[in-house]
Amino acid sequence: MLTKRIIPCLDVKDGRTVKGTNFLQLRDAGDPVELAARYSDEGADELVFLDISATLEGRKTFLQMVERVAAAIQIPFTVGGGISSINDVKNALDAGADKVSVNSAAIARPSFVDEASSCVGSQSVVVAIDVKRAKNTWTVWTKAGTESTGLDALSWANEVFQRGAGELLVTSMDRDGTTAGYDIELLSTLSERISIPLVASGGAGKPEHVKDAIQLGKADAVLAASIFHYNKISISELKLFLHNNNISVRM
């Protein structure tokens, strides 16, 4: 049985880790390098670093910060934010990332997913999809969740899968930062349609939410921020809870 991954997320703005609710009302959560080192030591399986204002500000990911984080950890590391060219992909990997996360650039030019996966391999290309529920469907949003694309999330997920994405990082904007639980219907619907790993994001507030994302949503990995940043639970405590609920995790 494949182990399920627990992945802390560092949303970084102006050199600090921040966390908001529904992508708004950002509040400080600490130094990203210190948090990264702590999570690596606590047993995180991977780490995600998202430079959340890079695309909106029309700039590239802050590579010096990426290098500092990479030097502080001993686990795989995904970097996203402002990555819109093959050079950006290469620069992030050269700075110490193991994977890159692309979002707005893929929406603007879907063939970028093909090019990136051909250049560095699908295993290094994560497509991040930010979605909002619209009645019985989900719509893709872009530019740090500020602009609706009108794209159907399920169709878009299938397209990037076909184009060579190695993993999907799917964030429910409705649940983000609410600590009310993941959008299980969204996750389970996607997991039935897509055969690449699915990373659930948006809504973790207690261990049961993570368990449900894995058991009911069929997620391969779970991303969380608030519950770790504000010491609601440690990664080791969460893994022990999952292990005791018959979920295979790396202890």
Q: Which residues are catalytic?
A: 11, 130
**Cβ atoms of 238 and 247 closer than 8 Å:** no
3-state DSSP assignment of residue 189: helix
**Cβ atoms of 66 and 97 closer than 8 Å:** yes
Question: Which pair of tokens denotes residue 142?
Answer: 């872009």
**Cβ atoms of 44 and 97 closer than 8 Å:** no
The vertex-139 CA angle with 51 and 23, nearest 5°, equals 35
* Cα–Cα dist 134/23, whole Å: 17
Burial letters 67-86, b for 16+ CB under 10 A, else e: ebbbebbebebbbbbbbbee
Question: Which pair of tokens denotes residue 90?
Answer: 């290469």
**Cβ atoms of 190 and 169 closer than 8 Å:** no
Question: Which pair of tokens denotes residue 1?
Answer: 């049985």
Pairing of strands 167-172, 137-142: unpaired
* Cα–Cα dist 198/188, whole Å: 10
